[in-house]
Structures are given as structure tokens and as C-alpha cells.
Amino acid sequence: MGCVVQMARFARFPLGHFPTPLEPMDRLTAKLRARHDKVPNLWIKRDDCTGLATGGNKTRKLEYLVGDAIAQGADTLITQGATQSNHARQTAAAAARAGMHSWVLLERRQVRDEEYENSGNVLLDQLLGATIMDQFQAGADMDAAMAEIADDLRSEGRKPYVIPGGGSNPVGALGYVGCALELDAAPVAIDWVVHATGSTGTQAGLVAGLRAVHSPAKVLGVSVRQTEHKQIDAVLALAEPTADSIGTQVGRDDVLVDDRWVGEGYGVPTQSMIDAVYLLAGTEGILLDPVYSGKAFAGLLGGIAEGRFAETDNVVFLHTGGAVGLFAYRTTFQ
């Protein structure tokens, strides 16, 4: 364990159950050891169990974002994401919990089927009381759309607070500094943390937090949307100000990304994702999601097959949630 990071000076509104459990995946480890050499000890950090309206990684970010929104006197949260955004759903739940209204702007990054448009997270956005705007076509300027709605609400005398896609800014990334501190305090010495990386707040916060406590753990982000170089640039661009806000520094060498598991693009199923979802469900009874954690888990399995990890390493898969998205992809799995 390293130095103390003073998190108490940042405004925070409690939304989740923390620390999340860190569990061994003994059955999976044994099964993989029968197939490959150099299989590390596999653990899972259950950020799918943060507890907020089916949980997920956005809950940690939203604790700081909603804390900031309350400090600014906001009465409405506005955010955006893809149709099946887990972030939009957790933001809608956070708003309900904080007694605020929420607007979620959904971009149709891909056109699938009726279940994709209406089930899974979209159903939950509705139940959680969000005002849903779902007519945005792929590539629409979502930030401009949020700014426009915020202006309209201000002119009606309301106090909107705009949260960027994925909750990924230096305030939201503080949530993953908190996760890094939980991992550093775990009773097992962690060598690797593997997780899905998209809008970058998760990886940026983890890297900044682990550096702050001088942890030797390496963080490997499995990209769900863009190439390794672009994703490293994006993670670093957020990790730097996040590190600065907690009094530490990060470098490019701290940011590791594997971009080989995206397939045809964001939210487009791959066979390795489908296999990963079935494998973890069948060995550990844990549900991954089709867009993020399923592809990240495929990346972890690929890394094991390549011998990337030492047999004595403790490798933690950070489960970032999203399993309600399975309902939106029913036909992919049946």
C-alpha cells in the first residue's frame, strides 16, 4: 500500500455499494489451466454490482458528477450516449436518487432491431423517469445538442448540469481513482487489471489512482471502439488532468491498450465476445455484456492464450457491468 490520496475534499453524492467485491474465479482458472500453459490467478472486481439500477462503472463517476451538480445548485442532469447506453441509464437513476430530472439523448450509432431500440437500457431509462430523445442519427453532434437543451432549460429558469458521454471528464474519473484505492487495499498483490475502455474515464482514473499510491499493477484497457494509438491518446488526455487534481503524474507508458477485439465496430457483436459471455456464465455464473465487458473478456482470454501473463500473476478482470444490454441483443445469442 502506498501514500494517502485525499479524496474527501471532492464533493460526492453516495449512489453505490462500495467497496465492490473482489472475488477469485477458481473454476475458470482451473478450466483454462487444462487448455493453456501460463494461466495466471484470475480474479474479478464486481463493479457490475455497484447497486444503482442494475449497477455498472458509471455509478462511481456519477457519485462525483452528481456531487458537483448539487454543489452548483443543479436541478436537472443532461447526458448522451448510444441507444443502449449504460451510462444514460445510470445517470437517469442517479437523477432520481438526487431528486433531479434527467434528459438522455440517444445516438443511433447503429441500427439493429426492435429489441435493440426498446428493450434493455432503453426500457430502464423510461422506468427511471428520464426524458428520452432518441432520434439522433449516427455522427450527430451530441455535445451541441446537449448545449442547446441546456440553454432552453436555463431560459425556463431551470438549472441544468451537462454530463459528457460516459461521464468521462476529470470529475467523473475521480470515481476510478476510488476504485484504484480499493484495489490497492485488497488483500492480494495485484499484477494486472484488465477492463473495457471506451470513453476513457475508467482507465484514466485507474491509472492516475494506481500511480498516486505507487502501485506496481499494470492496467490493460481492451478497446471497444477505436485503434490502440487513438485510444491511448484519449486515455492520456484525461489521465493527465485527473492525476494533476490528486497531486500525481502519469506518462504514456502507464497506458496500455489492446485494440484487437473490437470487430467491425462499437456495439457490433463478435464471435469471441459471444464465446466469452457463454464461458463466464457457464463457469462462474457471471453475466457479461455484449458491447463492453464481453469484448474485454475476450481480450483477457486472448492474452492468456498468447502467454501474456505469468502463471504466478494475479490478474483482475474489472467487470464494468452492462448485462441488461443482453436483452437488447437477444437474437445475437439465440
Ligand X SMILES: *Cc1c(COP(=O)(O)O)cnc(C)c1O
User: Which range touches ligand X (CB under 6 A), out of 5-13, 71-79, 191-199, 259-267?
Assistant: 191-199
Is there binding between residue 146 and ligand X (CB under 6 A)? no
User: Which range touches ligand X (CB under 6 A), out of 100-108, 156-164, 194-202, 253-261?
Assistant: 194-202
Residues 6+ apart with CB under 8 A from 31: 283
Between strands 314-319 and 41-46, the pairing is parallel
Is there binding between residue 67 and ligand X (CB under 6 A)? no
Is there binding between residue 87 and ligand X (CB under 6 A)? yes
Provide, rounded to whole angstroms, the least separation between the CB of residue 171 and ligand X. 13
**Residues 178, 46: Cα–Cα separation, whole Å:** 14
Of 293, 300, 304, 309, the one binding ligand X (CB under 6 A) is: 293
Q: Within a 10 A sphere around the Cβ of 287, how many other Cβ atoms?
A: 18
User: Which range touches ligand X (CB under 6 A), out of 102-110, 142-150, 276-284, 319-327?
Assistant: 319-327
Of 79, 86, 226, 272, the one binding ligand X (CB under 6 A) is: 86
Q: Which is nearer to ligand X, 67 or 201 (CB)?
A: 201
Provide, rounded to whole angstroms, the least separation between the CB of residue 126 and ligand X. 18
Provide, rounded to whole angstroms, the least separation between the CB of residue 65 and ligand X. 12
Closest CA to 317 of 20, 46, 44: 44
User: Which range touches ligand X (CB under 6 A), out of 116-124, 141-149, 180-188, 316-324?
Assistant: 316-324
User: Is there a catalytic annotation at residue 85?
Assistant: yes
Q: Which is nearer to ligand X, 57 or 83 (CB)?
A: 57
Give the torsion sign (CA, 151, 53, 58, 124): negative
**Residues 81, 125: Cα–Cα separation, whole Å:** 12
Tell which positions 195-254 bind ligand X, by CB under 6 A: 196-203
Closest CA to 292 of 138, 128, 166: 166
Measure CA 33 to chain center. 29
Is there binding between residue 166 and ligand X (CB under 6 A)? yes
DSSP 237-266: HHHHHHHHHTT----GGG-EEE-TT-TTST
Is there binding between residue 57 and ligand X (CB under 6 A)? yes
Tell me if the bond preceding 241 is cis, omega within 30° of 0.
Answer: no
Closest CA to 90 of 200, 165, 141: 165
Residues 6+ apart with CB under 8 A from 179: 20, 45, 47, 60, 202, 205, 206, 209, 318
Is there binding between residue 170 and ligand X (CB under 6 A)? no
Of 289, 309, 315, 326, the one binding ligand X (CB under 6 A) is: 289
Provide, rounded to whole angstroms, the least separation between the CB of residue 46 and ligand X. 13
Interacting residues with ligand X (CB under 6 A): 56-57, 86-87, 166, 168, 196-203, 289, 292-293, 320-322
Enumerate the active-site residues.
Answer: 85
